C-alpha cells in the first residue's frame, strides 16, 4: 500500500470495477466514468476517514462475488453489483459517497454540467432579486402574532 492508496491491490481492482458500474462513461454526455484514471486516483486518495468502511464494503463485495469481483464476466458483475447495492448498508453508502465526491468535482464532468471548475470564493454567484411584489398579499395582512399577557 502507498500513501495515496490505502487499499490492497485486489481491493483496488474490485473498487475500480465497481466504480465503472456505478457511473459509467457516456458518449451521449461526453463524460468519463468513475473508473477514469484521474478520477479513480482521486477516489483512492480521498478515502481517508472512510477507509475502514470502504474496506468493509469491498470485503462484502468479494464475499458476494465468491472471490475477485473484478474478474467476473460483465453480466455476472452487474448481477452482483445490483445485489450489493441492496445489501451493502452503511459501509457501501460511505464508499459510494467518496466515488460521487470525486466524480462530480472532475473538471470534465463539471464542464459537462455547465459548471465552472472553480471554488465558490472569491467570485461567488449571481442570484436574482426576484419580484418583490409577490409579497404584497402578505404585506396587506393584519398582524397575527399571538398576544401574550
Site string for another protein, 78-117 (x = CB under 8 A): x--x---x-------x--xx--xx-xxx----x--x-x-x
Site string for another protein, 119-138 (x = CB under 8 A): xxxxxxxxxxxxxx-xx-xx
User: What is the Cα–Cα distance from 138 to 103, expressed in whole angstroms?
Assistant: 44
Site string for another protein, 11-30 (x = CB under 8 A): ----------xxxx-x-xx-
| Binding positions for another protein, 52-71, rule CB under 8 A | none
Nearer to another protein, 37 or 130 (CB): 130
User: What is the Cα–Cα distance from 138 to 107, expressed in whole angstroms?
Assistant: 44
Nearer to another protein, 9 or 48 (CB): 48
Contacts of 83 (CB under 8 A, 6+ apart): 64
Nearer to another protein, 8 or 82 (CB): 82
User: What is the Cα–Cα distance from 23 to 29, expressed in whole angstroms?
Assistant: 12
User: What is the Cα–Cα distance from 68 to 17, expressed in whole angstroms?
Assistant: 10
Q: Residue 53, Cα to own-chain centre: how many angstroms?
A: 15
Nearer to another protein, 9 or 126 (CB): 126
Residue 31 β-bridge partners: 26
Which strand (E) or helix (H) includes residue 138?
helix 136-139
Q: Which residues bind another protein (CB under 8 A)?
A: 21-24, 26, 28-29, 31, 46, 48-49, 78, 81, 85, 93, 96-97, 100-101, 103-105, 110, 113, 115, 117-132, 134-135, 137-139, 141-149
Amino acid at each position: 500500500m502507498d500513501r495515496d492508496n490505502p487499499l490492497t491491490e485486489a481491493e483496488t481492482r474490485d473498487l475500480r470495477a465497481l466504480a465503472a458500474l456505478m457511473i459509467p462513461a457516456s458518449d451521449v454526455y461526453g463524460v468519463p466514468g468513475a473508473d477514469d484514471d484521474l478520477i479513480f486516483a482521486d477516489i483512492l486518495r480521498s478515502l481517508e476517514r472512510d477507509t475502514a468502511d470502504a474496506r468493509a464494503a469491498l470485503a462484502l463485495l468479494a464475499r458476494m462475488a465468491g472471490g475477485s469481483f473484478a474478474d467476473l464476466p460483465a453480466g455476472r458483475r452487474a448481477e452482483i453489483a445490483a445485489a450489493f447495492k441492496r445489501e451493502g448498508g452503511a459501509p457501501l453508502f460511505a464508499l459510494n459517497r467518496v466515488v460521487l465526491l470525486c466524480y462530480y468535482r472532475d473538471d470534465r464532468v463539471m464542464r459537462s454540467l455547465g459548471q465552472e471548475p472553480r471554488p465558490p470564493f472569491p467570485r461567488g454567484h449571481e442570484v436574482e432579486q426576484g419580484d418583490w411584489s409577490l409579497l404584497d398579499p402578505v404585506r396587506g395582512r393584519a398582524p397575527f402574532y399571538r398576544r401574550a399577557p
